[in-house]
Every structure is written in C-alpha cells, then in structure tokens.
Amino acid sequence: MNTIETLEQKEKKYTKEDFTSDQEVRWCPGCGDYSILAQMRRLLPELGVKKENVVFVSGIGCSSRFPYYMDTYGLHGIHGRAPALASGIKLANPDLTVFVITGDGDALSIGGNHFIHLCRRNIDVTVLLFNNRIYGLTKGQYSPTSERGKITKSSPYGSLEEPFNPVKMALAAGATFVARSMDRDPKHLEATLLEAARHKGTSFVEIYQNCNIFNDGAFEKYTNIKTRFDNVVYLKNEQEYRFGRENDKHLFWDGHRFRVEEWKATEEPLTHNTDNLPVSMEFALAELSELEDFPVPVGVFRKRQAETYDALLTKQIEEVKKSKGQGDLQKLLESGNTWHVD
Amino acid sequence: MSQSTHLDQVTIRFAGDSGDGMQLTGTQFTNTTAMVGNDLSTLPDYPAEIRAPAGTLFGVSGFQLQFSSHEIHTPGDQVDVLVAMNPAALKVNLQHLRDNGIIIANADAFSLRNLKLAGYEQNPLEDGSLEGFQLFSVPITRLTREALVEVAISSKDKDRSKNFFALGITYWMFSRPLEVTLKWIEEKFAGKPELIEANKKALNAGYSYALATEVFTTTYTVEKAKTTPGKYRKITGNEAVSLGLIVAAEKAGRPLFLGGYPITPASDILHNLAKYRHYDVKTFQAEDEIAGVGSAIGASYSGALGVTASSGPGIALKSEFIGYAVMTEIPLVVINVQRGGPSTGLPTKTEQADLFQAFYGRNGEAPLPIVAAKSPADCFQTALEAAHMAIKFATPVFLLTDGYLANGAEPWLIPDVADIPEIKEPLAVSGKEYLPYKRDPKTLARTMAVPGTEGLEHRLGGLEKEDLTGNVSYDPENHHNMVRLRQKKVEKVAGFIPPPDFSGEEQGVLLIVSWGSTFGTVFSAVEEARKQGRQVSWIHLRWINPLPEMLGKLIHNFKHVLVPEINAGQLVKIIRAEYLVDARGFDRVRGLPLQTHELVEEISSYFEE
C-alpha cells in the first residue's frame, strides 16, 4: 500500500497549523485536554511522518473528541473499543502511524479487556490515556482511577472501590513503552509523547489531566510549581531518582522496596534504566503513586525493544509465501479430492 | 453368495459415543461417495460436549448422509441404514430408521453397563424388540482386536480403530472403493506407521468380514448422478464461505482481513482462513467478539475487506460495532452461522432464529442488507455477493448461514476463477475535492478515502453525520434526512443482486416463501407435492433485505402464502408487515433441518378445503 517517504524527500516541513482541523474545539474552558492537543500538534511536525499516514482513533468520553481537532485521518469510535479499531487499522496497513486517544473510564473500565490485549500483543500504536480520575462526559461519576471514598453523583456516600493504577496495568500487560506525564508540564509532555510515538511497539502514556469541572485539583500536588518538586520524581534514563526543591532527596532501593532518603553521593549510585529494570523495581516504582509520603514518578518507566505483532504478521506472510508460493485462486478452489463428471 | 441390488438413493447414519470417531467415519464415507460420483447431502449431528461421558444418551454423536444417483437436496428424513456403535446410539436413533431398515450394531458394546446407561432393561439385540428391522449384530470390537493382533499398539489404541472396521463393512455393503480412505489414513497419520497399519487393517478387515461371512447377503449399488459436466469437489458451508471471501477480496483488489473469536459452529471459518497467509489473508484472533468486529471495521477503514464471523451469542456482542459501521458507512461482512438459541442455546444444532437479530438487533434505525445461503455450496456465492455489496454500498452486510449448512457437505461444481466478475469499486483519490458523505445518486453510497491518501484527511465517528461533509451534526432535519438516506441506500441494493429462485405459476392457491437452509427440504417437498398433483408455487429468498421487487406483486396473486422456517415465525412476520397478506408460518424448532414429509403434509392441507 503506502510507503512512507521521509519529509526530506517530500521537501515539505509541517507546522502545527497543518495538523489543526477546521472544527471548533469544544472542551470546557480550562480543561487539561487543551494542553495535550497543543503538544500533539506541536510534536507531529517533529515526528517526521506524512500527515496522511497518521490516524487518530478514540473511544467515547471527553478525551475521545480529540481526533476531530486533528487534521489527519481520524476515527471517533465506540466506548472502550478504540484499541480494536486501531489494531485492525495498523494490521491492515502497517505503514500508518496510529494513535489511540482514551480516558480512564474508556481504557480501564468499559475497554479494560481491549487495553490489556493491545499491550500484550505489542501492536505498534501509541496510547494516550487522559487520566482525570472522573467521568466527565456523563457529568461526574467516579471512575476506575478515582480514589476510594470519592463522593460523586453515583457514590453519594463514597465509592467503595480501590482505584486501578494505569501504569502498573500497562507494565503487567506487557506494553513495551510505559510512561507518565502531566497536562501542566507541557515540555515534559511533548517530549514524552514524541518518544512514545517513535517507539516501535505498543506505547502507553498516562497523562495526569485536570478536569476543572468535576474533579478540579486532582493532581494539584504534582503540578503546582510550589509543591511539585517535593511530590514528583522525574524518571530519566541512567540518572538517579533525585527529587526535592533543592534536589536533596532520592529514592533508595533496599532490595525489597524504595525508601525516601536524603541524597548523598555514593560510588555506585542507583540509576534508572528503562530498558532492563528488574521487575520488582519496575513495579515498586509504579506503585509509588499509590503510597503516602512518596513522590509520584513521572517519565518513562519502561522502554524495551521487542518484535511487534504487525511486523511478525508481515514476516509470517512472507515466510508462508516463500514455503508455499504465492497463492493461486484456481488451485485453491480445486484443493482436496476432486472428480470429473463428463 | 451375495446378490447385488440397484438403489436410487440411500440414507445412512453413523452413530456412537462422541469419542467413537463418528464424524470422521461419516466424513470418510462422504468423501468416498463424492468420488464415486453420487449426489449427496450430509447432516453432522453431535453434542456440544467434546467428550461426553461414554455410553450416555446425551453423548451420542451422529453423522447422516443421503446419497443418490439423481439430484438430491436434503440429508434425508428417514434412515435406511443405521450403524450403532453402542446401545445409546441405537436408542437415540432408532426413531429415525425406516421400517425394515438395516441396523449394524457393535454387539461388543452392548454390555450390562452400557445397556443400563442407555436405559435398556434387556439387550435389544437379543430380546426380539428389533423385529421389523434387518439386524446385523457384529462383534466389532473383538474382530478389530483380532485383526490388529500383530500391530504393536496398546489395546486402547486398537479399540480406537473399530470405527474403520464399521466403515469397511459399509464400504462393502454399498460397493464403495477403499482407496480414498486408505490414502487419507496415510496422510493423516504420517509419521505414525503403527497407526497407519492399524487403521488400514481395521478398514480392510471390516470389508473382508462383510465379504467373507454369510451374514450379509446383499450389496447395493447407487449409480453416478447425472449432473452438469465439469470438475467437482465436496464442500461444506464453512469451507465455501472461506473460499468465497478469499476470491471476493482478490476480485476487489483489497486484502482480506478476518477479525474473529472462536465460537461453535463458526470457528472453522477462522481455521480455514488462517491457513491462507500466502493468499495475503490476515486473520486476527481477537480477545473477544467485540474486538473481532472492531478490528475488521478498522481494517476496512484502512482499505482491506473487513470480515467477522460468529454465531448468535457473538453477534449479540458485536451489535454496537455493527451499528457503528452503519453510521460510519464502512464496508463490513458479518457472517452469522446460526445455532440454536436463545443465550448459549444449542451450540452444535441448527436454527434460523437470528433473522430478527440481523434485521433489528441494533439500537436506532440501523438498516443493512441481509443475504442467506441456501446450501453448503451456495455459501461460496453468497459470500461473494455479500462482500461485493458491502464494498459497493459502503455498508455492513449480514451473511446468514447455519450449523447445518456450515458442517453439512455436498458436491460442488468448481467455478473457473476467470469467470467470476471483478468487484472494482473506486476509492477516493488525491487531488480532487472530497466530501466524505457525498453519495453516488445510483447507489446512494459514499466513496471512501483511506488513510494514506494525501489531502483527503477527514474524521469519522458514531455521532450523527452532516449530509455531504460528514461533520458531526445535531440538526433535527439533517438527522431525519440521514435516517432516510441510510434506509434508501439499503433499498438500492435490490438493483444489483440476482433475482430469487422462483418456480411454478405466477398465481394460484399456494405460494411458499422460504429462505436460507430450508431450501433443500422445501425443494424436495414441493417436488413431492407437485407429483401428487398440487399446483404449488415457490419463491426462495437469498437476499432478504432488501426483499426482491417481484415479491410485492407476486404475493397478492395467491390465495395462501406459507412460510416454512426453523424458528417460531420470523420471516413470516416481516412478510405480513411488508405486504399486508395473511401469510402463515410452518415452524419446527428442534435444532434440526425441517423434514420433507411434514412439509408435504402441510402443503397438502391447503388443497383439502
């Protein structure tokens, strides 16, 4: 089908305007989604793929209106099922660059099954999960990432459920790129999304996204410039887990769990490794966002090279063709025992 | 000395435990019979349990086959020969055996324990209760063991070969050659020389036993059927669907993509297509039925021929996505291999009770074209037509088959691929103005632009579309208009499909309207009724939505309209609503094909007023 020429061959440089559709953006004023949209429009020219080869696929929810605002190909799907559509799109035409836009309810509740299987298969698509820990479009019920005890319209006495940790789920399901970023940290967000989009395989980015109508301030601790440094540890490959206003604290690994300690230089400092972190550390790191008195890790948790489903499928087709030869329709119809009637 | 008798047609049923290999035995008899040149029709009838407890009534697995020297259309109402591998098989199937029919029973399996399991107080092989039948009580297990005495396999494995012994007896009885099965054994058990030896010996031993003993006195011959000259093969409905889809994709110049999830009795479509990577077939075993159809829609959106295949319960799960394909106007073929319902129902049995599901099983006004195959071989042609209309009209199309068609087999005159017309439907190209929902006035279909086409970037979704632009629209008049347009588009399909099968006078006492897999039974019943002097007219629908234009005029020319179906009356309600005629249903919902003689009686009742 389509082969991707590089942009140099095409001698055309995109700007963010090239990715802006003519549709009026209809999120609530002040919604965190605007920031994510802006970063996406900004990073796509950097990504270096032709815009006709880009497809945005979404489910249902506030975030899922995203494709309408991008001047690329787009499918606004049905609730929870964007991964299914995206899988078919990518497998039918592996040359396409496919993004899945989803929310906490869409990906983890109604679409939980599709989400984990997408990760497991490692199909080369990039998933952006806008996590605002609330149902916005249906006007404010608790979501699978809402904290226990959350008072909402559907839980007037407090929700009884433990929340999912999306990063832990993606790691456990086998996504080969897993990261977290925040709507109010646009530079980090743009860089993280670009890295996710460049990764071959299922890339997952949880984005802390503020819903200023139904769950305002859910991530204030991590995004407010005054409190951010004490509450967020930025994950950087081959760098230590340092944080704090004065960069004076770090995460110490005692072999079983992380502890927060004052930072001291050592000869063999513990550094982050997105490629090959022991599973125990990977999950311990992911779990920190659930624990009191720990900073929330933001950045890339995992980035591993592994064969993608789409590449394996293409390879398998070629191998079968090599061993059996290109199929011949007449032979196919005449396969098995045949007989003649004169 | 045996004598030879010519027969015109024979119905044989192999029955035993679900572990006795009866489906295999029946299939081998079918393959050999096809090669001999008889016309044939089969009915596999097996329980949902893979290995039901041995000896029980509900564990009985059967395979019925009618073969003939002339054209036939059903696996037969009554059985001429029953092969019963145990008491339960005899008990369950004796009701189908005609008077003076032949029973070949494995006497060794009629132990006290098995008799008790089957609910026999005395051994029916010995108590005279089978008088009125021709009983051949053969110690099949013992004779198989003796034949395999020198083969170095366990006695358990030896006992597994007893179905080949029984098959050998029937091959002798009906003058069938052994070669097809001998060759099959070699291929099937390649690398396991002991099993090849055992099964070949058992087959030969059964044949020789029947030849040598004086128990059997008659062999029967059934002459070749006089059918259209050409090259034939045996084909089941699921095979025919698979081949039809591959050919359709090739003719359309679009790669085939099947998104599916295993479900009885549709899984064989997934199995078949998964073999054909070298035909550029992509099969995707999804995590569930929903993802199966979703991936197929995604693939179609990317320019493939997206297909999903399932059965009733799976179709129920897919409904939301099928409605989505109606709204986004993306081509999709949805195959429903119907089985007994509701809910899990009767997974291995046949039924036609999902017609309403196909028509109405979605939220909102969501019309789509529906075609139903009439025979196993017709599954090929209907798959081609379904794919063609899906692409031409940018719409989901339902292809209805059922368990009987899916697993049943018949001879198929293999078409020449070059004679099958191309399915060339254009996609939008770069450089021209593109309105995603601008329609071709002839078909009212929109033209798709697939990702990768420069300059035609656009967004689709399940929200209501504005006419022409496809932008989201909440405008009341636009919605009204779009509901009408989607309906009219489906109606336009009528101009591009073959006319229905019609036979008889264009007016009279009785018009039969049938659809789907009842074709064979109705064919035979109408033939029989006409022999009895009844002037019956008959229209068989393949496309059910839209209904054929001729039907509206025709249907008012008859005093009575009869609609036979394997459901509680679904098409009949549609016919009544559509044409305001007092159509009557004839339904038997037993998980089995309708019986010819019952329908003949029903037809007769309309002439006895």
pLDDT of the residue at A10: 54
- Interchain CB contact of B34 with A (< 8 Å): yes
Nearest CA in chain A to B279: A327
Each residue of B371-390: pLDDT tens digit?
A: 999 999 999 999 999 999 99
- Interchain CB contact of B423 with A (< 8 Å): no
Q: Report which DSSP code applies to B594.
A: P
Q: Please state, for a pLDDT cut of 90, what percent of chain B lies above it.
A: 94
SS3 category, B504:
coil
* Cis status of the peptide bond prior to B546, with omega within 30 of 0: yes
- Edge-first strand order for the sheet with B536-541 is B501-503, B536-541, B508-515, B558-565, B584-587
Each residue of B184-233: pLDDT tens digit?
A: 999 999 999 999 999 999 999 999 999 998 778 888 999 998 889 999 99
Extract the runs of DSSP E, i.e. beta strands, from B443-573.
459-461, 501-503, 508-515, 536-541, 543-545, 558-565
pLDDT at B143 over 60: yes
Across the interface, do A338 and B414 touch by the CB < 8 Å criterion?
yes
Each residue of B392-448: pLDDT tens digit?
A: 999 999 999 999 999 999 999 999 999 999 998 999 999 999 999 999 999 999 999
In terms of Cα–Cα distance, which of B97, B109, B569, B277 is closest to A322?
Answer: B277
**Per CATH, which fold does B233-419 belong to?**
Rossmann fold (3.40.50)
pLDDT at B1 over 60: no
How far apart CA B493 and CA B396 sit, in angstroms, is: 12
How far apart CA B556 and CA B581 sit, in angstroms, is: 7
Instruction: Find chain A residues with C-beta within 8 A of B377's C-beta.
Output: none
CA angle B368, B374, B377 (to 5 degrees): 110
What distance in Å separates residue A97's CA from the closest CA in chain B? 10
**Per CATH, which fold does B501-605 belong to?**
Rossmann fold (3.40.50)
Each residue of B32-76: pLDDT tens digit?
A: 999 999 999 999 988 888 777 889 999 999 999 999 999 999 999
pLDDT at B265 over 70: yes
pLDDT of the residue at B609: 64
Tell me the average pLDDT across A64-92. Answer: 98
Rg (CA), chain B: 26
Tell me the average pLDDT across B153-167. Answer: 95
> Chain A, 102-161: which have a CB under 8 Å from a chain B CB?
113-114, 117
Residue B226 CB: number of other CB atoms within 10 A?
12
Across chain B, what does the average pLDDT equal? 96
CA angle B337, B40, B57 (to 5 degrees): 65
Q: Would B233-419 and B501-605 be classified into the same CATH topology?
A: yes
> Chain A, 314-333: which have a CB under 8 Å from a chain B CB?
316-317, 320-321, 324-327, 329-330, 332-333
User: A299 is written with which tokens?
Assistant: 């950045």
In terms of Cα–Cα distance, which of B159, B154, B176, B158 is closest to B167?
Answer: B176
Half-sphere exposure of A223 (CA within 13 A, CB side): 20
A65-69, A136-140, B109-113: segment of lowest average pLDDT: A136-140
State the architecture of A7-321 in CATH terms. 3-Layer(aba) Sandwich (3.40)
pLDDT of the residue at A61: 96
pLDDT of the residue at B561: 98
pLDDT of the residue at A6: 52
Tell me the average pLDDT across A248-260. Answer: 94
- Burial code of B432-465, b = ≥16 C-beta within 10 A, e = fewer? eebbbbebbeebbbbbbbbbbbeebbbbbbbbbb
pLDDT of the residue at B2: 65
CA angle B556, B559, B564 (to 5 degrees): 90
Q: What are the residue ranges spanned by the domains of chain A?
A: 7-321
Residue B466 banded pLDDT, cuts 50, 70, 90: very high
Each residue of B304-346: pLDDT tens digit?
A: 999 999 999 999 999 999 999 999 999 999 999 999 999 999 9
Instruction: Find chain B residues with C-beta within 8 A of A324's C-beta.
Output: 278
- Burial (Cβ within 10 Å: 0-12, 13-18, ≥19) of residue B496: middle
Q: Report which DSSP code applies to B150.
A: T
**Nearest by CB to B229, which of A55, A90, A341?**
A341
| Residues 6 or more apart in contact with residue B300 via CB below 8 angstroms | A88, A92, B257, B306, B325, B330, B331, B332
Sign of the four-CA dihedral A164, A165, A166, A169? negative
Alpha-carbon A159 to chain mean position: 26
pLDDT at B302 over 60: yes
In terms of Cα–Cα distance, which of A110, A109, A89 is closest to A98?
Answer: A89
pLDDT at A328 over 90: yes
**Nearest by CB to A76, which of B255, B453, B459?**
B459
Q: What are the residue ranges spanned by the domains of chain B?
A: 3-222, 233-419, 501-605
In terms of Cα–Cα distance, which of A297, A290, A29 is closest to A182?
Answer: A297
pLDDT of the residue at A1: 42
Report residue B109: phi and psi, to 5°: -85, -5
Across the interface, do B296 and A117 touch by the CB < 8 Å criterion?
no
Tell me the average pLDDT across A230-237. Answer: 97
How far apart CA A171 and CA A174 sit, in angstroms, is: 5
A119 near A175, Cβ under 8 Å? yes
- Interchain CB contact of B471 with A (< 8 Å): yes
Q: Please state, for a pLDDT cut of 90, what percent of chain A lies above it.
A: 93
Across chain A, what does the average pLDDT equal? 95
Residue A9 banded pLDDT, cuts 50, 70, 90: very low
Tell me the average pLDDT across B492-498. Answer: 97
Nearest CA in chain B to A88: B295
Write the single-letter amino acid at B129: S
pLDDT at A3 over 60: no
Each residue of A110-156: pLDDT tens digit?
A: 999 999 999 999 999 999 999 999 999 999 999 999 999 999 999 99
Residue A11 banded pLDDT, cuts 50, 70, 90: low
Half-sphere exposure of B156 (CA within 13 A, CB side): 1
How far apart CA A86 and CA A95 sit, in angstroms, is: 13
The answer regarding whether domain B3-222 maps to CATH 3.40.920.10 reads yes
| Residues 6 or more apart in contact with residue B19 via CB below 8 angstroms | B51, B54
Alpha-carbon B18 to chain mean position: 21
Across the interface, do A92 and B37 touch by the CB < 8 Å criterion?
no
Alpha helices by DSSP H, listed for B493-539, are 519-531
- Interchain CB contact of A2 with B (< 8 Å): yes
Helix (H) or strand (E) holding B380: helix B378-393
Sign of the four-CA dihedral B596, B598, B602, B607? positive
First-residue to last-residue Cα distance in chain B: 54
Rg (CA), chain A: 23
Give me the residue label for tokens 């037969």.
Answer: B76
What distance in Å separates residue B310's CA from the closest CA in chain A? 17
Nearest CA in chain B to A113: B287
Each residue of B523-536: pLDDT tens digit?
A: 999 999 999 999 99
Nearest CA in chain B to A82: B294
B503 near B514, Cβ under 8 Å? no
pLDDT of the residue at B482: 98
Write the single-letter amino acid at B176: R
In terms of Cα–Cα distance, which of A294, A33, A191, A93 is closest to B295?
Answer: A93
Best residue of B176, B290, B302, B454 to probe chain A, by most A CBs closer than 10 Å: B302
- Interchain CB contact of B247 with A (< 8 Å): yes
**Nearest by CB to B280, which of A67, A75, A317?**
A317
> Chain A, 280-319: which have a CB under 8 Å from a chain B CB?
313, 316-317
Instruction: Find chain B residues with C-beta within 8 A of A2's C-beta.
Output: 452
What distance in Å separates residue A137's CA from the closest CA in chain B? 14
Give me the residue label for tokens 């000896």.
Answer: B55
What distance in Å separates residue A127's CA from the closest CA in chain B? 16
Write the single-letter amino acid at A255: G
